[in-house]
């Protein structure tokens, strides 16, 4: 084991690194959290657990069972240490069953186990959409063309009681242009075809919009302080980091300054970095020292931490465009569907028909949105 970095503040013996607000701990979170936290003492557990387990095994359900059994003691511990007003937020990606174009159910089974066996409530399910996700697995998506790109992670927001403390006012989104028009020009209150009664209140300008449970965050970190530091020091960056905006959304919405945030599967300690910047107390536990070595850099730069990395997003990236699925439905369906569901790999003998991407006349869409082929 290499020597842990120099103390920054009062550290406990087992701390790998600490600041006045939090600490990174090397070890198994099952033991560490049990020792460190009394029952009902934590406000938010924000984490992304490992899900490689599923990939390494052969077929779906057995894996899912094993994964859920592995997770259960963590679920019980999390339930014990969370305050009744606390929250557990789990970012978890789906997985393909090796060799087949079908998906594991493990993350849904995890959710059901946490609710049925550990007693959590599902406060709300979120989806993190990564517009920069690559089209994999190539065999199903780009070669046989029988599945589409999987570009979302599930984010389960659970709570020990139905009443976790929360406010969507902390995470408001900018108004869309359509909403701005509506606020400018007014809205005539009426009953919608869906039966919803849209009242006059709909046209009150609240300054910003209530966000949906779809979080659009392109995961494109390429020149961050963390990556530059890892490169310079010859440290392998953590391969499965989440973008800081993901924990930030939930830390803002679900905790106040001074509250306690825990990440039991901390990796490179993104959760700790965000909690430190937002003045929450934090504890991040990670099993592998290499990941903590890189993570320390998140707290060790000379500049004021609150400045963060210089913004890497262009102004036009505040909004991501999503296709209306009918954008390219223009009457040209192309080849018949593979009768065997794509089981046999077809070698294309004839030149594929050129993609037809003409717009439907009835739909007003920006030209830049129209490409029929990925």
Ligand X SMILES: C[S@@+](CC[C@H](N)C(=O)[O-])C[C@H]1O[C@@H](n2cnc3c(N)ncnc32)[C@H](O)[C@@H]1O
Q: Binding residues for ligand X, per CB under 6 A?
A: 28-30, 48-50, 238, 240-242, 264-265, 267-268, 270, 285-288, 291
Active-site residue (options: 23, 48, 104, 159):
48
Q: State in angstroms the smallest separation of the CB of 67 from ligand X.
A: 12
Please give the Cα distance from 173 to 92 (Å, whole number): 24
The yes-or-no answer on residue 91 being catalytic is yes
Q: Whose CB is nearest to ligand X?
A: 267
DSSP category for residue 209: B
Please give the Cα distance from 103 to 98 (Å, whole number): 9
Element (H, E) at 35: helix 29-36
Q: State in angstroms the smallest separation of the CB of 75 from ligand X.
A: 13
**Among residues 147 and 280, whose Cβ is nearest to ligand X?**
280
Active-site residue (options: 4, 5, 49, 338):
49
Name, in order, each residue with C-beta under 8 angstroms of 318's C-beta and a sequence gap of 6 or more. Answer: 174
Within the chain, strands assigned E span 15-18, 22-26, 42-47, 82-93, 121-129, 152-159, 190-191, 197-198, 214-216, 260-263, 281-286
**Among residues 272 and 328, whose Cβ is nearest to ligand X?**
272
Q: State in angstroms the smallest separation of the CB of 178 from ligand X.
A: 34
The yes-or-no answer on residue 49 being catalytic is yes
Q: What is the largest CA-CA distance in the chain?
A: 70
**Among residues 140 and 215, whose Cβ is nearest to ligand X?**
215
Judging by beta carbons within 10 Å of its beta carbon (0-12, 13-18, 19+), is residue 49 exposed, middle or buried? middle
Active-site residue (options: 63, 91, 150, 263):
91
**Among residues 91 and 259, whose Cβ is nearest to ligand X?**
91
The yes-or-no answer on residue 264 being catalytic is no
**Among residues 147 and 235, whose Cβ is nearest to ligand X?**
235
DSSP category for residue 139: I
Q: State in angstroms the smallest separation of the CB of 65 from ligand X.
A: 18
Q: State in angstroms the smallest separation of the CB of 61 from ligand X.
A: 22
SS3 80: helix
Residues belonging to the active site: 48-49, 91
């Amino acid at each position: 084991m290499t020597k842990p970095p120099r103390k920054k503040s009062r550290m406990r013996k087992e701390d790998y690194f600490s600041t006045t607000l939090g600490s990174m701990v090397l070890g198994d979170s099952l033991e560490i959290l049990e020792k460190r936290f009394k029952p009902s003492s934590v406000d938010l557990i924000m984490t992304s657990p490992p899900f490689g387990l599923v990939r390494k095994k052969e077929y779906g359900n057995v894996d899912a069972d094993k994964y859920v059994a592995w997770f259960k003691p963590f679920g019980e511990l999390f339930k014990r240490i969370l305050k009744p007003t606390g929250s557990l937020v789990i970012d978890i990606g789906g997985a393909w069953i090796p060799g087949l174009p079908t998906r594991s159910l493990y993350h849904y089974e995890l959710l059901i186990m946490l609710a049925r066996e550990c007693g959590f409530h599902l406060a709300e399910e979120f989806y993190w959409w990564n517009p920069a996700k690559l089209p994999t697995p190539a065999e199903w998506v780009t070669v046989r063309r029988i599945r589409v790109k999987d570009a979302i992670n599930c984010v389960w927001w659970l709570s020990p009681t139905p009443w976790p403390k929360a406010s969507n006012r902390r995470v408001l989104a900018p108004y869309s242009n359509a909403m701005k028009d509506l606020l400018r020009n007014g809205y005539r209150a009426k009953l919608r075809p869906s039966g919803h009664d849209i009242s006059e209140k709909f046209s009150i300008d609240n300054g910003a919009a209530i966000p949906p449970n779809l979080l659009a965050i392109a995961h494109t970190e390429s020149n961050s302080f963390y990556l530059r530091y890892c490169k310079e020091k010859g440290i392998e960056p953590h391969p499965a980091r989440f973008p800081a905006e993901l924990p930030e959304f939930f830390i803002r919405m679900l905790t106040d300054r001074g509250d306690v945030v825990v990440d039991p599967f901390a990796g490179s300690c993104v959760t700790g970095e965000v909690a430190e910047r937002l003045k929450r107390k934090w504890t991040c536990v990670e099993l592998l020292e290499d990941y903590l070595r890189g993570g320390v850099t998140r707290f060790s730069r000379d500049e004021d931490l609150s400045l963060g990395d210089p913004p890497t997003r262009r102004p036009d990236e505040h909004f991501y465009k999503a296709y209306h699925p009918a954008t390219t439905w223009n009457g040209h369906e192309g080849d018949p569907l593979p009768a065997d569901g794509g089981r046999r790999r077809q070698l294309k003998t004839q030149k594929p028909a050129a993609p037809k991407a003409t717009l439907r006349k009835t739909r007003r869409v920006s030209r830049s949105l129209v490409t029929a082929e990925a």
